Homo-oligomer: A and B are copies of this chain.
């Protein structure tokens, strides 16, 4: 399976008064990694016409603290590709330490609000990413 890694840097508004990131910040990092992962597959959400990609299920486990200015590596993998949805798995590392892991189920929805088939190019790219060898692609962000 293709593994994709996106580096993000923790910003001030990602943290809260506890001195750590707010738990929702990690989910935004997952989404940033997802967008760059799909871009690496040749698909950009910005090019989607007449469809949106809402998340229908999100889960995340938080394992160790992340703080301001930390660099976090988000690994993305395709877990499942359906006809109108897909599931991505995420792991967040601070250096060698697993800080969080989770998954997000994304569904393709036409503007009137009904699930519909994934764009063919996206579906093909995801299936390929899910089945290919572990070629780690790295990228940097934030």
Contacts and interface: CB of A to CB of B under 8 A. Distances in A.
The 9 A-B pairs with the shortest beta carbon distances in the complex, nearest first, are: A142-B142, A59-B59, A15-B17, A46-B69, A24-B24, A23-B55, A18-B52, A13-B22, A12-B16
A24 B16 contact: no
Given A11-B31, A20-B52, A45-B68, 18 more contacts: A12-B16, A12-B31, A12-B35, A13-B16, A15-B16, A16-B16, A18-B52, A18-B54, A20-B54, A23-B27, A24-B24, A24-B28, A44-B69, A54-B65, A55-B62, A57-B59, A59-B59, A59-B60
Copies, count: 4
Interface in A42-67: 44-46, 52-63, 65, 67
A61 B103 CA distance: 12
Interface bin, chain A = 35 or more
A53 to B, nearest CB: 8
